[in-house]
Amino acid sequence: MQFSTFSANALRDAPHIQLLNFRGQTYKVEYQAFCEPANLGKTPVVFLGGAFQSFVSFKSEVEQVLSTHPVILADFPSQGNNDQLAPELSLPDYASLIQLFCTAQQLPKVMMLGISYGSAMATLFAAAYPDYVERLLLSGITCFRRDSLITLLEDSLAQLAAGDMNAFATTAVCNLINHSRLQETEVSTTYRRLLYRQIARLSDNERQRYAQNTQRLLDFPGFTAYPQCPTLIATGEYDNFTLPTENAAVASQCANATFAVINNADHLSQFERKETTTSLFHRFMCGQSLHHVAGAQVFDPHSYIRVEQRLQGRQRPLEQPYRLLDCHTGKEHIVRIQNINFAGCELELTQADLSLTENTSGLRLELPETGHQYTVHILERQRKTLRCLIIQHNLKAADALLNYLQTHLLMVHDTPDDSLQVQPA
């Protein structure tokens, strides 16, 4: 592989193209490769990004990693800025494409860094082709077998198909950012609005790519094999998109894994706690201890997954009852809110109605104190009790709910347990 000299502007240059033949089709990989002369003999680090990321997203990481290793930024079909649509490819197919790319570029050994969506691709590659991977780094690993997350992703596809980009962008922002922990993560209103605008303004090609990538995740049945190489799995402690316990569960299945939690961060730790995240990744690449990285803790994943961890408190409104409206039938249900937070609620029907099930769509919970109605989806029903997911479709309404939960006179039902009953490893 031919490496170039790095500069910040180079990340915006036209990428190199590698064409791959796979199952009778030709696929395009866009990549950039950088290296300092002194590190030409070192194992290169391949970066695989998540949704809404491009090469520029990795500027800080590239600058630090280049001090010790070559760097390869790669966008496979429909990833990053690669505009090639490939609805026929499954997630495991991407592991095969990565192997073909390494072969074409004469890369006998690599380190893989996978962020969010890219973490699934990197994990599958490392498990299927262990001889190629020296070290594996994963952040916010995507498993997506949780009912609530599957529902959120399916809803995002529905909003995208309907062309409602405001609802789609709102859902994406509220999925990626833990709005109940904005004080801890220090995510600003400006940053949230910039992310919202970026997503709301996706081009038609970018929308199709998001839909295809998301459908691949929904179709993926789960990992059947796990990496054998030294592996670091890191997650933000308040990540409510890919839960810390889910990340720990994957780490517990790997033969040689380290599990780290980044303090005061959620799914976007790469941006919220850039220095800690970059330092954690780079020290692992270099084979150095992770026990003294400021802002991060190392845990035994087997112990961590047994911890009951709630990322959001639950509160009960003093005002009762409330109205649950079915927009499809015009039916109105009177309910009492047993508890509520930004992500969901538990409702008690004042009169039993067997027509309300997990398949019911078009439900809106009216909260007069906020001035808005909120889309709710039933996850579980037990007699008169409905456990519901709240899906945010309007950014102003989302902010109104957040303000209501923080400032309105509510009766506290319980609060998040911030003190994990597990000791750092």
Amino acid identity for residue 71 in this structure: V
Q: What is the pLDDT of residues 157-212, one digit of tens each?
A: 999 999 999 999 999 999 999 999 999 999 999 999 999 999 999 999 999 999 99
Q: If you average pLDDT over residues 58-85, what whole number do you get?
A: 95
Containing 296, the helix (H) or strand (E) segment is strand 296-299
Q: Which residues contact 108 (CB under 8 A, 6 or more apart)?
A: 102, 132
pLDDT of residue 151: 94
Give me 137's structure tokens: 């780094």
pLDDT at 415 over 60: no
Q: What is the mean pLDDT of the chain?
A: 92
Percentage of residues of the chain with pLDDT beyond 70: 94
Q: How far is CA 61 from the centre of its chain?
A: 18
* φ/ψ bin of 331: left (φ > 0), alpha (ψ from -120 to 50), beta (otherwise): beta
Q: Which residues contact 284 (CB under 8 A, 6 or more apart)?
A: 135, 137, 230, 232, 258, 290
Instruction: List phi, psi (to 5°) of 411.
Output: -90, 120
Rounded (10°) angle between helices 147-162 and 204-219: 150
Torsion 102-131-95-33 (CA) sign: negative
pTM of the model: 0.92
Percentage of residues of the chain with pLDDT beyond 90: 80
Q: If you average pLDDT over residues 263-288, what whole number do you get?
A: 95
Helix intervals (H) in 255-304: 269-272, 274-285, 301-304
Containing 377, the helix (H) or strand (E) segment is strand 372-382
Q: What is the pLDDT of residues 132-142, one digit of tens each?
A: 999 999 999 87
Count of C-beta atoms within a 10 Å radius of residue 424: 14
Q: Is 191 exposed, middle or buried (0-12, 13-18, 19+ CB in 10 A)?
A: middle
Residue 419 — pLDDT band, cuts 50, 70, 90? very low
CA gyration radius, the chain:
22
The rounded distance, in Å, linking the Cα atoms of 80 and 181 is: 28
Q: If you average pLDDT over residues 392-417, what whole number do you get?
A: 82
Side-chain-side CA neighbours of residue 186 (13 Å): 7
The rounded distance, in Å, linking the Cα atoms of 65 and 87 is: 33
User: Which carries the bigger pLDDT value, residue 126 or residue 304?
Assistant: 126
pLDDT of residue 40: 93
The rounded distance, in Å, linking the Cα atoms of 53 and 41 is: 29
pLDDT at 409 over 70: no
The rounded distance, in Å, linking the Cα atoms of 364 and 214 is: 25
pLDDT of residue 352: 83
